[in-house]
Amino acid sequence: MDMVPIISVVGQVKSGKTTFIEELVRELKKKNYKIGTLKHTSHSFDMDIKGKDSYRLKESGSIIGGIFTDDSIGIVRDFNEKKDMDRIIEDIFYDMNIVLIEGYKLGKYPKILVMKEQDLEEEIKEYKRDEIIAVLGEGELITELNYFGKYEIKKIAKFLEGEFIKPYSVQEINLYINNKPVILNDFVQKIVKNIIDAVIDSLKGIDKKIKEIDLRYKKGK
């Protein structure tokens, strides 16, 4: 995979999406994975109290605003296009093992469909079928899709671990050109890695115990 695995959990209102994500996060945490969560809403929102200093600073015209303490931070960032939102999500959660979004059915990400009723064809028609990686329901269901009971949390966690989390963990180099991810094969990854390592080794005055390097290049005219 070429970026952190991001999964949308979709379904009708009151289908159990939030409860499912809560239980799944708890199960994945037992395996020491780093998990990010997001809630998509169609309504605008303010993360701060109107009139407070941090609110005023953001409203003065800054694109990014926020508030932080010694142990946490909250950020609000404006964007103009959906592609910007996707890239921002990937940038913010880049160091997670997996990100779970509640909702965002129009997004590009793979989806887990939580059924409210046991009528797959009725509920799935709102989505592109090839984007559905799993379906959750109650009782038996005959389908070619991966099907789990709503409460089979351990099985679902194992499925995500094998299909998404572990494959991503072996990816070392992620390349974006004009905000679009570019898939690199193992040979090209090795070349890029060796070049970057050689450049870093030649630098003086930096910590050589490196866990991660973030390199951004903006081409001039």
Domain 6-202 has CATH 3.40.50.300: yes
The ranges assigned to domains in the chain are 6-202
Starting from the edge strand earliest in sequence, which strands make up the sheet with 132-137, in order? 35-39, 98-102, 6-10, 111-114, 132-137, 147-149
Residue 210 is predicted with a pLDDT of: 81
What does pTM read for this prediction?
0.71
Residue 81 is predicted with a pLDDT of: 65
Given a contact cutoff of 8 angstroms between Cβ atoms, the answer to whether 176 and 182 are in contact is yes
pLDDT in tens, the chain (221 residues): 447 899 999 999 898 999 999 999 999 999 989 999 999 887 766 667 788 888 788 888 888 888 889 998 888 887 776 667 777 888 888 888 999 999 998 888 999 999 988 788 888 888 888 999 999 998 787 888 999 998 999 999 999 999 988 766 555 777 778 767 677 777 888 898 899 889 988 988 888 788 778 888 888 76
Query: String of b and e for 76-108 (b: at least 16 CB within 10 Å)?
Result: beeeeeeeeebbebbeebeebbbbbbbbbbebe
